[in-house]
Amino acid sequence: MRHILSILVENEAGALSRVAGLFSARGYNIESLTVAPTEDATMSRMTIVTTGSDEIVEQITKQLNKLVDVVKVVDLSEGRHIERELMLVKVRAAGKDREEMKRTADIFRGRIIDVTDKSYTIELTGTTDKLDAFLEALDKGAILETVRTGVSGIGRGEWVLKA
């Protein structure tokens, strides 16, 4: 099962390696990991997408909580939540394909943010699924480069993740 873990960590040098090291040392999967500072400058927020049985994810959560730099861990996928990922794709867009490429981007609410006469760079946000679907909709040969941020997630409603 896929889980989205939201983690508040102290903004200390090494906090990221402690978390990443834990996953590699114990053989847990990381599908994606994002991290950036929060409104409180002393803390960063990480979102980790991982897969594993309930037992494994329970262990991951416990092990994360044990790290001294970790302030809080929540499994977002246990409740209602919103997840988003940002993707930048550079695609071949020349001649007759150019119009078609723009149309596909529009369907997925992608924005063209850079152009040359042979290429477009498209910005797209959404769930991992949507981003995957967009890539599938493109002709494989047209994709020149893809960059994805990995998932960021937040709980729905008034609930907030606080230290």
**Residues of this chain that bind another protein (CB under 8 A):** 9-10, 12-14, 17-18, 21, 25, 42, 55, 58-59, 62-63, 65-66, 68-71, 163
Cα gap 75→32, rounded to integer Å: 14
Least CB distance to another protein at residue 15 (A): 10
Least CB distance to another protein at residue 85 (A): 27
Cα gap 1→27, rounded to integer Å: 16
Closest CA to 101 of 86, 127, 121: 121
- Give the residue with the Cβ less far from another protein, 67 or 112: 67
Least CB distance to another protein at residue 5 (A): 15
- Give the residue with the Cβ less far from another protein, 54 or 117: 54
- Give the residue with the Cβ less far from another protein, 8 or 76: 8
- Give the residue with the Cβ less far from another protein, 71 or 87: 71
- Give the residue with the Cβ less far from another protein, 86 or 161: 161
DSSP string, 9-72: EE--TTHHHHHHHHHHHTT---SEEEEEE-SSTTEEEEEEEEE--HHHHHHHHHHHHHSTTEEE
Least CB distance to another protein at residue 66 (A): 6
Least CB distance to another protein at residue 64 (A): 9
Closest CA to 151 of 74, 71, 87, 79: 87
Instruction: Tell me if 71 sits within 8 A of 8, measured CB to CB.
Output: yes
